[in-house]
Structure formats: C-alpha cells, structure tokens
Structure 1
Amino acid sequence: MKKRVYIVDDEPKIGNLFTNVLVRDGYEVESFISPTKMLKALDESKRPPDVILADMMMPDMDGLELLELLNEREVKAPVIIMTAHSSVQTAVEAMRQGAFHYLQKPVNLEEMRALLERALDLYGAHKELEQIKDEQQAKYAIDGILGASDPIAQVRDTIRTLSDAANTTVLFSGETGTGKNLAAQTLHYNSPRRKKAFMEVNCAALPDNLLEAELFGYEEGAFTDARDSKQGLVEIADGGTLFLDEIDSMSMALQAKLLSFLESRTFRRLGGVEDLEVDVRVLCATNADLESSVKEKSFRKDLFFRINVVNVKLPALRHMGDDVLLIAKHLIGEFNRDLGRSIKGFTEAAKKKMLDHMWPGNVRELRNVLERAMIFATGSRIEASDLALARPGQLGDLHGDDASFHFPLGRTLKDLEKAYIRRTLETNDSSYADISDELGISKKTLWDKRKRYNLDEVVDR
C-alpha cells in the first residue's frame, strides 16, 4: 500500500510541485491550500496520512496552531514544517512541540525526499510498537483470567478496581502455578501505566548482590566487572510497573533498601552518589506465608505492611470446581494452534479424572499435563489414559516404585519437614528449581533448608 502524504501550503504552485514530485516517487498525495481544509479532510478520512508536510506561515493559522490541533486529535503521523529563513527559530519551537523536523524554503527536493523517508521509518516503527502494545493489552484483558467460580470472579473484580489506582502497591499471593504473574501483567496492561514498561524480576533467581544491581543499576567502577554504567529495572520501569516475584526470598538487607525506595521513590545506583527519582508502581508476588515469615523474623514487618496495601489471593485450582474443565478447554484451543492438532475435547472419563485430581501444581501443572496429552493422544478426544497425573501420595513427578511418604506420630514438625525434604530430594532427579516448585517454596528457601538440616549428603544438582 502506498504511503499517504498530506501537503498544506497556501501557495497552490508549491502544493502542485510537491504533489507531482511525490506522486512520481510512488506516494499517494493530497494537497490543501489551508490547514482548516486539511483538518476537515482528516476528520472525515477513514485512512489517516502517514506524514504531513505543512507550511509554517499561513493566513488562517500558523504551524504551531496546527500542531496544537493535531495533538488534540491525537494524530500520530510525523509533521514536517516548511519555513522561510527568517522563521527558523519558530520552526525549532515547533519541534519542541512535537514536529518531526523542518525544511527551509526554498525546499531542496532531495532533502525533502530524505526527510520523508526518515519520518516514515519512524512512523512505521511507532505504529509497530503501538500494535504490539495493543496486542499485549488484548492478551491481558481482565476477562482473560478464566473461571466462573466465586474465588476467581473476585480476583477479576479486584483487578478491575485496582486498574484505576495506578500508584497502589499490590501483593499477589497464592500457591505456585496459580497465575500470579498473569494477574500482575493483567493489572499493568489495564492501568494508565500500560503504555510504559512492565519489568519483572524473580527475586529467587539471583544472589543478593546481583539482584541489587539488577534492581537499582550501577555506576562504572562500582565493582570489579562494572566497566560501564547500567540502568536498573527500577529506572527502566519509570512511568510503568515493576513486578517483584518471589519477594519472600529477598535478603533482609535488600528488604531494607527496597522499603526505603518504596517510601521515597528515590534510589542510588550501586557506586553512585546522586539520588534518582522515578514514578513506578510496584507489584509483588509470593507463594509463602509472609505473616509467618514476619513472626519468624525472616521478613521485615514494616516492608510487609508497605507491600500488603492490597492482597490479591489467587485461588488454588482444586478450589475452583468445574473451572478446571473451562481452563482445560481454553488450553486445548491454544495447543491445537501450536501443535497443529484438532482435538475436540475430553471423554467423560477424562473429565472425571481431571475433576478428581488435586492439582498440586495448579494451572501450570494442568498446562503441562494437557500439552503431553495433546502430543500423544491418538483420537479426536483426550482419553483418561492420555492424562499422566500423579497418583495420590505423589508430589509432582516423584520417581521410584514407592513414591509415598510415611512418618511416625509423636515427632516434631521440624523433624517432619526435614524428613520430607530429604525424601523428596532422594526420590526426585529433577532440578532444584523444579523440586522447589513442587514443594511450594523458592529455590533459595530449598537451598537454605538443605543447609539448615545438614542434607549436603543428598546428591548435588
């Protein structure tokens, strides 16, 4: 499709000249002798221009007034101002108000061609970015949080209410695999901050020193390998949202720095001396009981109160009744597209098997089970035998003939936890990340408990 150019100049000869040149260059051109007529055509047109060439000095309004009216209409097309030598300063002011650039009269045609190409490249990139953002917003529609049960309906209602509270800190809590990340992104993309960045960091995935550098950035020379300055996620997310997943795994020292930032919205890069201020919304997530962590003095009470302004609890799949079938139906549609299959649904026996299962891994487990079933299913519907579900007594995908766990009465909870973690590590050859997910704790917490209970003799991973 040809790129469309609007030309606005009160001298018809100039408009005709530029029109002839640009039509020969392959553009679709509309020429106007006044901004008023151009604005009328713009309001009535179903296809807006890709770029606008406008004279600075015209009888009914000048270029600055035209820019103001274009901004009111939210016209995204870049505007190139044409000006006489004596009005160059005014053209520079137009650029401050949003004009892409200016051409000095008499216009050099080669310069005009080059500037048009640059403007169109910029506009194309801008439209592509806007399309991506629109797709993200559609992907994270609030009604995209599936489920008809009361617990999930309450989650949607809460997110809908919080969408307008663009500065409120929110804590998402729930078991692993319940969709805390999805809920956080849904909140962001339905808030006034949706046009800015959504930056996520998993606090359990990085050691404390790297996590601090990732969050707050660093200056050149702050540590041995800091050869250049680097922005942190807090800075990059300015105007948008910062999502801190598994915040319970953050060290006490870093918790104190995070609290200071939340209170002041200012921070210093590592090795820096300048206080930097940002406007960012902070969302947090945890699968731990933070109130218990506060009592055990492994999480700061003041930080807990600061991030727990609103607590959105994501329900476990086993508490959502028939929603498991609703979500499974949606996932079948996804996997049909991704895997090139045409599975129509489930047999009644498969439905019963899914409803009877406890889903310790929640929606994440459901997705994994269905993906496997979709790959190996031989019929048009998923059979019960296609669903590789853990047996009662198993935790995820424990290996070995005896995956059950027995423990005598009369022992302490500490003894029980130690024995259960030992048994899980001994009978599961998955990675630490997978095992921590199955246990419902962070990888860092699993590592700490292994050290605390002297389980170093268990095979290292």
Structure 2
Amino acid sequence: MKTFSILLVDDEILTLNNLKKALEKEGYEIIMAESGERALKILENYRPHLILLDLVLPGISGLEVLKKAKEIDREMIVIMMSAYEILEKAVEAMKLGAYDYLLKPFKLSELKTIVQRALETMSLRLRFLDEFEKEKQRYYFGKIIAQSKKMKDVLDMAARVAQSDKTTVLLQGESGTGKELLARAIHYHSPRAEKPIVAINCAAIPENLLESELFGYEAGAFTDARKRKIGLLEKADEGTVFFDEIGDMSLSLQAKILRVIEDGTFTRLGGSQPIKINVRIIAATNQDLVRETEKGNFRQDLFYRLNVVPLKIPPLRERKEDIIPLVLFFMDEFNREIKRNFKGLEPEAAQAMLNYSWPGNVRELRNTVERVMSLYQAENIHLQFLPQEIRQELSLPEEKILPSPAKDWPTLDNLEKTYIKKVLEYTGNNKSRAARILGLHPATLFRKIKSWKD
C-alpha cells in the first residue's frame, strides 16, 4: 500500500507535534516546517502529496507559500488552517487553489476526514492522468501505419486540424478504414485532450432512444423517466463529441444537432431551460453525404456545418503499400496477446494479400491475421493458412491478377523479390530486422540482395 507524505507548516511547535503524532497514526509520512521560508526550501527538492498550511506565519505568509507551491506544481493539494475567522483571506486562498480551509481549533476526526478525501481526490487524478497518457500513446499519430502517400496526406491534414480547438471535422471512408481511430487521434492531439471524448454510433442506437441518450431528460419526461438523466452531449462538455455514421441520423435529430453546432445549446427532453455546452464535433460516415442531401435524406445546412475540414480515408485497396506493414503490426500485437512467435509471411501469402481487394478494409485485415495466428503455430504465414477468398487471388483468371499475357506472369523468384523489397521498405532498410521478419539468416538475405545486383 502506498504511503502518502504530508508537509505540515505552522509556527507553533506544539501544534506541529500534535498534528504529526495524529497523522502518523494514520500511516502518513510527515515532514514539518515551522515557517514559510522553511516550507519553500523543502519544496525545492521534495514533493509531498499534500500540504497542511497555516494561514498566518511570521515572514512569508501562508497565502504566499500557497501561491508559490501552486507555481511549483499546480496539482499540489493544499489545505489551509487558521485560528482567525478571516473570510476574505479564506476566499482568496480558495481562489489561489487551496483544496479546503480548516478553522482552528478543529477536531482531529474532521482533519483526518478532509485529508483522506483530499488524497482520494489526488489518487483519482493520478489514475486519470495515467489512463490519459496510455490513451494518448495508443492514439499517437506516429503509430498509425501509413507508408502510402494517400494515407500520409490524410494524417498530415489531421495533425494540423487537431491543433485547432473548435474546428469541425468530417471523416469519410468505407467501413473498417479506421475513422474512429483517426477521430480519437485528433482529439488526443488537440487542446481538449485532457477532457472527455464521447463516441456515439448513430447507426447502432435505435432512433427512439438516440435522442434521450444524446440530450438526457428530466424526471417525468416520459413514463419510465423517474429521475433526471444527464445526456452524452452534456457529459462531453469541454471535450469532443464523435458522431459515428452520422448519415444514419434522422432528419428531426439532425435539426437539433445543427443547433448544438451553431450556438452550443440544447434542451433536455421534458425540460424548458436551454443548456450551454462547449464541445468540438467530429463526425464520420461511410455514405456520400452530397448524394444524400440531393435525395433529401440529409440536411444540406448540417452538411455544410460538418464539412469544414473533410478528411477522406482511402480504402485499403487504394493503399496497398500499407498492407504488409499492417500485417506485421498486427502480427506483433497478436504475438503478445495469444503467445505466438510469428515473424513474417511467405512470398505467396504476401502476394495473395496484396492482390486481394479487402472489402472490409483494415478491420478485415486485422481479423484475418488474428484468425491465422489463432489457428496455426509457425514462424511465417503460409498461403494455405489464409481464407479461400484470399488464397484464390493467386489462381484467378489472368485478367484479375495481371493484365499482361500468361507468359509475362512473375516467377516465384520475382514474387519473393517484391516481398523482400516491401519488408526492407517497412524496416527502413534495416537488413537485420528484415531478416528476422522474413525468417531468413542475415547472410542468406545479403546473398539474395547481392544476386539482384549481379
């Protein structure tokens, strides 16, 4: 169990000793300072979890110590103490960031309760920051696989728009292309990164429930509304709202979302008071919204509001340079998850995967890698491990595989050469790493590369 440290600052030695004795019984590590100057000296080299600080001190005042402590670490938890009921000073202390204020003489039980509550708050904050850092690393732009120019251009634009605080983004692309991944990457690289991102799948929630989920409701708004419910939009305040598959939203709801975008207000179901929120909107769709507006299925004014920065994510069949790097990325992931030791692909398997059209895009590719690695144990993915629809890409009529006559079909040596070059490109021409992925001895790889030059 973690031991929390507390810095006690008071010019009365008896008070210091009494507080030290009481708090040490609770398992806390105690450091004492009899003046503001001494407290600041300690803070130069040490960060306690909490400061219990007297307001009235000789020399540097308690308020000055509070101010400087917050400059050192704005998350520092400080509880003020005073034997004097000076309301304006207490208000000033709270404005400067004090967690709470105790009026002497106070009961030790009251002190212990406030300290415990403050440290629990700090623990929750630390856990949040830890989770936030994990999420930020997970959705780091540099971790999104993009060897193709098309995908690199999308990520470059996304990274630039992420820096703006309010700009609405419309992500367009087929199912499985990674729209939610990109939406979260934009959020976690934006000024709103430490605030929530709330994802709403407009296609997954029935229309009659979506409105109450988005806006919330007041008690008595309908038969089962026994108490007020806070909606998802309200929970996202100061953060980002991600509307996935917004093309499936009903026209009546579209009008209400338009109001949220235009003036940041909405009303709970059964309510009369407008609620003001400050959110960034990122929307995604696999539909052609221009065509849907022409057909009357999507509001034109909402489309223009959403389409401030449109980002079109290309399907996997249009970014074939990313297929092998993605396979290797997922291979690393599932090696860890299901305790396998796959290192690469056989040339025929690689060529079949490159030829396949991947209608399910990156999601289908990931599922394929997971399926193969779950069913087989080997160093490389072999052609026979792949599903039939992918295997047949090496035995389809020539017009499906290659437009040239059969006599010009590549030999296995040429397929191997193409695959090795792809792996070398993925590893940045790191031949040792490429050899590991290919399942070759480094000397064998060097010989093959040399043979191409001869």
TM-score normalised per structure 2: 0.81
Distance across 2 between alignment mates of 1:39 and 1:336: 50
AA partner of residue 296 (structure 1): K
1:4-15, aligned counterparts within 5 Å? 4-15=5-16
Q: Distance in 2 between matches of 1:95 and 1:42?
A: 20
Distance 1:187 1:312, change over 3 A: same
Moved more, 279-288 or 259-268: 259-268
| SS at structure 1 position matched to 2:389 | coil
TM-score by length of 1: 0.80
Distance apart, 1:155 and its partner CA: 1.8
Distance verdict in 2 for CA 1:389–1:66, change over 3 Å? farther
How far apart are the structure 1 equivalents of 2:305 and 2:388? Answer: 40
Question: Aligned partners of 1:109, 1:235: CA distance in 2, in Å?
Answer: 39
Query: Shift of the alpha carbon at 1:80?
Result: 1.4
The answer for the alignment partner of 1:90 in structure 2 is 89
Work out the CA distance in 2 between the residues paired with 1:179 and 1:92. Answer: 49
Separation of aligned partners in 1, 2:155 and 2:250 = 32
SS at match of 2:85: helix
Is residue 2:207 matched to residue 1:208?
yes
Query: 1:71 is matched by which residue type in structure 2?
Result: K
Instruction: Tell me how far apart the structure 1 counterparts of residues 227 and 289 of structure 2 sit (CA, whole Å).
Output: 37
User: 1:397 — aligned with what?
Assistant: none
Cα 1:15–1:262 shift into 2, 3 Å: same
Distance 1:37 1:353 in 2: 71
Change beyond 3 A, Cα 1:216–1:26: closer
The aligned length equals 392
Q: Which amino acid aligns with 2:229?
A: K
- Report the Cα distance in structure 2 between the residues aligned to 1:353 and 1:12, rounded to whole angstroms: 79
Q: CA RMSD in A?
A: 2.2
Please tell me whether residue 262 in structure 1 is matched to residue 261 in structure 2. yes
Distance 1:85 1:296, change over 3 A: same
* SS, match of residue 390 in structure 1: helix
State the AA in 1 paired with 2:74.
V
In the other structure, the counterpart of 2:112 is 113
For 1:5, the aligned partner's letter is I
8 Å CA contact retained: 2:70, 2:76: no
Q: Is the 8 A contact 2:43 2:69 kept in 1?
A: no
Greater displacement, 264-273 / 221-230: 221-230
Residues 272-311 of structure 1: matches in 2 within 5 Å?
272-311=271-310
Aligned to 2:357: 358
Contact 2:352 2:391 in 1 (8 A): no
Indicate if the aligned counterparts of 2:349 and 2:391 stay in contact, CA closer than 8 A.
no
1:360-383 CA distance string (max 9 Å, x none): 111100111011001011212221
Please list the CA deviations of residues 262-302 of structure 1 after superposition, one character each: whole Å capped at 9, or x if unmatched: 11111111121111111011110001111111122211111
- 1:229-286: per-residue Cα shift (whole Å, max 9, x none)? 2121111111001111111111122212211221111111112111111101111000
Structure 1 residue identity aligned to 2:190:
S
The residue aligned with 2:322 is 323
1:293 partner amino acid: E
Quick check: 1:377–1:383 contact (8 Å CA) kept in 2?
Answer: no
The equivalent residue for 1:387 is 386
Structure 1 Cα separation of the partners of residues 79 and 271 of structure 2: 41
1:251 maps to 250
Rounded to whole Å, the distance in 1 between the matches of 2:113 and 2:267 is 43
Instruction: Name structure 1 gaps, 5 residues minimum.
Output: 395-461
Q: Which residue of 2 aligns with 1:41?
A: 42
Q: Distance in 2 between matches of 1:91 and 1:105?
A: 13
Q: Is the 8 A contact 1:83 1:91 kept in 2?
A: no
| Distance change (3 Å), C-alpha of 1:58 and 1:178 | same
User: Hey, what's the Cα distance between the residues in 1 that align with 2:42 and 2:57?
Assistant: 18
Structure 1 residues 229 and 26, CA gap change in structure 2 (3 angstroms): closer
Alignment of structure 1 residues 446-457 onto 2, 5 Å: none
Q: Distance in 2 between matches of 1:19 and 1:380?
A: 62
Q: What's the offset of the Cα at 1:21?
A: 4.3
Q: Which amino acid aligns with 2:360?
A: G
Cα offset, 1:107, TM superposition: 4.7
Q: Which residue of 1 aligns with 2:3?
A: 2
Aligned residue runs from structure 1 range 58-457, under 5 A: 58-87=57-86, 90-91=89-90, 93-388=92-387, 390=389
List alignment gaps of at least 5 residues for structure 2. Answer: 394-454
On the 8 A contact 1:369/1:389 being kept in 2, the answer is no
